[in-house]
Chains A and B, each alone.
Chain A
Amino acid sequence: AQKITQTQPGMFVQEKEAVTLDCTYDTSDQSYGLFWYKQPSSGEMIFLIYQGSYDEQNATEGRYSLNFQKARKSANLVISASQLGDSAMYFCAMITNSGYSTLTFGKGTMLLVSP
Chain B
Amino acid sequence: ETGVTQSPTHLIKTRGQQVTLRCSSQSGHNTVSWYQQALGQGPQFIFQYYREEENGRGNFPPRFSGLQFPNYSSELNVNALELDDSALYLCASSPRPGTTLPNYGYTFGSGTRLTVV
Chain A interface (Cβ < 8 Å from any Cβ of B): 4, 33, 35, 37, 42-47, 50, 52, 91, 93, 95, 97-108
Contact = CB atoms under 8 A, between A and B. Distances in A.
16 contacts: A33-B104, A37-B108, A44-B109, A45-B90, A97-B98, A99-B55, A99-B98, A100-B50, A100-B97, A101-B99, A102-B33, A105-B42, A105-B43, A107-B40, A107-B42, A108-B42
Contacts of A100: 48, 50, 55-56, 97-98
A103 B43 contact: yes
B108 A45 contact: yes
A35 B103 contact: yes
B103 A47 contact: yes
A47 B92 CA distance: 12
Contacts of B58: 102
A91 B42 contact: yes
Interface residues of B, number: 29
Interface of B: 33, 35, 40-45, 48, 50, 55-56, 58, 88, 90, 92, 94, 97-99, 102-104, 106, 108-111, 113
Contacts of A93: 42
Contacts of B103: 33, 35, 47, 50
